[in-house]
Amino acid sequence: MPLACQDAFEWIDEEARRRERAGLVRALRPRGAEEAAGEDAPLDLAGNDYLGLTRHPEVTAAAGAAAVRWGAGATGSRLVSGTIALHTELEAALARFCGFEAALVFSSGYAANLAALTALGGHQDGLVVSDAGNHASIVDGCRLGRGETAVVPHADPEAVRKTLAAHPGRRSLVVTDSVFSVDGDAAPLGALADVCRAAGAALLVDDAHGLGVLGDGGRGAVHAAGLAGAPDTVATVTLSKSLGSQGGAVLGPARVVEHLVNTARTFIFDTGLAPAAAGAALAALGLLEREPERAARAREVASALHEGLTAAGLTAARPDAAVVSVRAPSPEAALRWAADCRAAGLLVGCFRPPSVPDGVSRLRLTARADLTDRQIRTAVHTVLATAPTAARRETDTAS
């Protein structure tokens, strides 16, 4: 007789109960066709379509044309059969627009960060200095690297300087988001660059939330800080936010890009970016070049949302780019608040532990350049009308 089958995944049930008790259960909520577009579609301030390009006719037409010409997929790793002319065209356009010597396109921004961190910081004798507020893809890249990682307080160049000084002679890489995804605040890139150069360290900046929003014509936070093209600075970007598509890229000196081609596992062993995504991103980049006012409008919308919410007594971080973060009293309250907004026709993000480094739950609103003033007022009204009473009390107490 065979032995009785034991439940190998019984522990998952306990984990699920623990999440439920803590109010941290996550669930997929697919958008139906009726929510995609049209007058009855919810107002979407949850996605990252900062420039309103994901449904732009030129962008969708370019995606369709690329799929018809090149096929639905890239067919393989870019080092085997997966590199198409669109990839190299997009890389050249990104490097030129953002002010870097070279670029390398990946299947996602997550993969781009993993590649940069493991290839540039993954040395047994290396040191990676990472901001405590960095994105999960940076955290995972640090974990996958073979070097030592030192996590420093958020947006603190002096803490970075002290950490580097405590490890003289180490091959060091400092990594930071340019704009942090939780509160939407910007990193002090100029000061960080000064600290890095004094210690002979390299600087890696994830500009996912800066590209298309900050800098001259949306060229990004690294460009705005005067660091684009610097021999000691590398940037990663995503194509899924301001460019309305999907994918990611690493921008930097040509020798860095060549090193990634030869050593980055998420480049060597991953299928290349789908042709439709590459075509869409290339078209979106062309639109941004022709219509640089979109970047300024995204910042204007973020400021208007912030002013409307804080004037009514909510606690919201002042946005440095297009992310507006509104504090909630608890994870459960944040979840209910987001659900009430959805029921009222407004989609907002809901950030709860462990996604927030300080353990404080938030609603996150993402500004879009194509929002009208009327839509901005509607969004503010909806958030205020559904706000938990305690959300305003926290503000009163803090002030």
Catalytic pick from 209, 240, 242, 306?
209
Tokens, residue 323: 């992310």
* DSSP character at residue 218: G
Whole-angstrom distance, CA of residue 116 vs CA of residue 136 = 14
Please confirm whether the linkage preceding 354 is cis (ω < 30° from 0): yes
Angle at 239 between CA 87 and CA 182, to 5 degrees: 155
Total H helices, total E strands in the chain? 16, 11
Q: Do the Cβ atoms of 206 and 181 come closer than 8 Å?
A: no
Q: How far is CA 182 from CA 135, 200, 338, in A?
A: 9, 30, 16
Please report the beta strands in 306-390, taking only residues with DSSP state E, as ranges in sequence order.
323-327, 346-351, 362-366
Catalytic pick from 130, 181, 240, 325?
181
Whole-angstrom distance, CA of residue 207 vs CA of residue 197 = 20
Active site residue 241: yes
Tokens 């919201």 found at: 316
Q: Could you give the 3-state DSSP secondary structure of residue 229?
A: coil
Please report the beta strands in 169-304, taking only residues with DSSP state E, as ranges in sequence order.
171-177, 202-206, 233-238, 248-252
Whole-angstrom distance, CA of residue 82 vs CA of residue 76 = 5
Q: How far is CA 366 from CA 299, 350, 389, in A?
A: 10, 11, 23
> HSE of 290 in the Cβ direction (CA atoms, 13 Å)?
7
Rg of the chain (C-alpha set): 22
Catalytic pick from 87, 223, 241, 306?
241
Catalytic residue numbers?
A: 181, 209, 241
